[in-house]
Chains A and B, each alone.
Chain A
Amino acid sequence: MSERAAIRARGLTRRFGTLVAVDRVDLDVPVRHVYGFLGPNGSGKSTTIRMLCGLLTPNAGEIDVLGLTIPAQADALRSRIGYMTQKFSLFEDLSVRENFEFMAAMHNVPRERARRRIDELIEQYRFANMHKQLAGTLSGGQKQRLALACAVIHEPELLFLDEPTSAVDPESRRDFWEKLFDLADTGTTLLVSTHLMDEAERCHRLAILDHGRLVADDTPAVLTGRLQGRTFIVDASDPRRAQRTLAQARGVLGVAQIGHHVRVLTEAADVHDMPGHIHAALAQAGQHAQVTPVPPNLEDVFVAVTRHAQAMEPTA
């Protein structure tokens, strides 16, 4: 079956003192997929990744990665995965090439092969004219490119990338994602955490974490499809006032000003004529506006699932 799971976790839980950083998370990551991990700061993305790599011991739950039981068989897993940490963790006082050489040795890539592989990666990841530069003096985006290159030096079956593009500019990000898909094409499974919607949109499949809980897990298309008919653009003469008014309105889940417009996300359409409802709410406050339905995007999904969770918070 092509949909064999590279990662399978059930009831994954991790506490730090009284804080539940990861709360009963179930995950299934299919092989050869780019699997996105979306969530606000502190939602438990890094903690989950660390548990899946066997670097942190879960308080509860079962993990199976590449057929190995984690954390018990973590040692056997280490040669088969690549892990790019959120914070740059290569050696700043080693040169680009020295970092490559070190990581190749760590993964016991045969010397001759390692030499060819390093040359190949230096070429492919555009370090040709800075392979002697100390890693600490690279720019933020270059550092992340180097970290990715080092993480794949031993051609791992599974890659964990923790916010790999946080310092990469949009143009280079496109380039970066090309590489991720190339890797997926060659058979690698990738788990990528991110805050960025445009990145999340590119993933084959997406899990959204909020306060340690898994609040959504599906393809981007299915996730956005669920919000069909719940997103609108409001053109108002005074968008700031319109935003404030709508934020208080019944049935409205999220309002965001986007340039001269206001983007509105509503609750599940129990009101038949949502545009009319929005109209009325604004008219009541003495404002006139034009309401147009728009297709939902992942940002709406993000707002919808995290708001929902927050609304449930006090009772939980």
Chain B
Amino acid sequence: MTTTRDRWSEALTPATLPRQARDSWRFTDLAPLKALDPGRLAPRPGVIPDLPPPAPGVVRLCLGPDGVSFSPAPADISWPAGVQVCAVPPDVADAPALAVRLGALLPGPSLGLQLAPGARLRLELVLQPAQAEAALAPRLWFDLAEDASLELALGLWGPADSLLVACVGARLAAGAELLEGQRLQGADSAVALVSGQVQQAPGSRYGRTAVVSGWRLARLEPQVCQTEGQAVTTFRDLALARGQATIDLHSQVRFGGPEGRLDQLQRALVDDGAQSVFNGVVQVPREAQRTDAAQLSRHLLLSTRGRVDTIPQLEIVADDVRCTHGATVSSLSDDELFYLQSRGVDRVLACRLLTRGFCRPIFDDLPPLIAAWPSEGLLP
């Protein structure tokens, strides 16, 4: 019988990992992933999170003592009306996302929920392994029927030398709404790979906000398909890349029909020798007339050793569309610093005020569940 460890070791061979030359990995070095020792990675018990108790009506699940299941067990929970535990669909073996392929080889808690028409749920998933060298691969699936609404807060904490591979899938029927907040905070040797697969029917809304801080390598690959257009997708990403971190966002939104909307804002702060990669694919085929898509990428580069790679990728075939794109990389402005200093604010604090100011548009607009989590240690 092959053990997880064997399969896992196999998965990390050069033959199975994506080749660095491949377009989508061209700017992202996989070395931090290869540096993890598959023989030592194992499920680790979760800790009780250092968070205020959940608000009334909010369900919070944490990583259980075995490190591979949720606690309390989803089956034991009295879910709100219309919410039912279901199976997580099997992973697609040839799914392009590395997270999907590696996740299938790793142990991890899984949760599938079905929301009946009109059902509402507020859910917090807090996955915080207690020890270093944790291996964790949560698989989450949410099936929202007409007009169902799910507010989801997903917290992933990565201890030293750990690997977190998360796959989040959702299907939104007409009028359904998914508001997702992700907070990914990792040690400077930890690796996170997070994929998302969301299908949106016309009239559905999907809002996703992610704040990523720390890690040695964190790669997020949210993919959305508006199957017939006429849906609304909002992406808000904030990366705080410091030390040697590489924080990589590869997003993809496909409009399968007309009149879809996308509002995407990516911001990253890059300090020390860190790197931020942003690749935002927007696909607007011929049938997606009157699509309205706006994508904006803003980088604040604080160090000369830092690196930014932005690769916008607008694939627009339809002709009657409004698609805008903007990308900026800036450093702290001398005039802004001088203005603050001229009022007695010392340079260090002035830099901090400006960097926080840069993060604020996303920070001030966090979905309510993760906004309630304390933000100490997140912002510079």
Partners in one complex: no
Residues of A within 8 A of B (CB): none
